[in-house]
Amino acid sequence: MKHFLRFLTLIIISVSSMGVVWALQEPATSGQQPADNTKINQRDRNQNEPTADQQKENGADRMLAQQVRRALVKDKSLSTYAHNIKVIAQNGVVTLKGPVHSDQEKQAIEAKAAEAAGGADKIKSEIDVANQ
């Protein structure tokens, strides 16, 4: 049994080491230019723009953000981009930020958020459609 545990430990270490090596390798470039989100970062530094760290810690806003997030993640037809949209609830108003792949995804996210928030008037969409 002792030898088996050593063997198993060596396998785990080997696999872990290989994972580290793979993670350290640079991804193959396929002629794509690196993302330039400088304008978006500048927008988010604006004091008038809500960011996730400004979300209130009151129960109602946390629950609202949680409901919107659950509705988005539950929809498996949405892309990973759509699942990773920033959801910021402040005083009952939900701000949605981030990129998605299409107008259809943007509309689906806004509809799900409006349903969770109790109406489209409680949604502020700052979702960007990639490649537009």
Q: Which domains does the chain have, with CATH numbers?
A: 50-132 (3.30.1340.30)
Query: What mean pLDDT comes out for the span 51-64?
Result: 76
pTM of the model: 0.62
Rounded to the nearest 10 degrees, what angle do helices 59-74 and 103-117 cross at?
A: 140
Q: Confidence band (pLDDT; 50, 70, 90) for 61?
A: confident
Q: Confidence band (pLDDT; 50, 70, 90) for 130?
A: confident
Sequence-distant (6+) residues with CB within 8 A of 99 are 81, 127, 128, 129, 130
Provide the residue type at 52 as one letter.
A
Residue 47 and residue 112: Cα distance in Å, rounded?
27
pLDDT at position 122: 93
pLDDT digits (tens, 9 = 90+) for 64-123: 999 999 999 999 999 988 999 999 898 889 999 988 999 999 999 999 999 999 999 999
Residue 131 and residue 58: Cα distance in Å, rounded?
37
Q: What are the strands of the beta sheet with 123-129, ordered from one edge?
A: 86-90, 93-100, 123-129
pLDDT at position 131: 72
pLDDT at position 81: 86
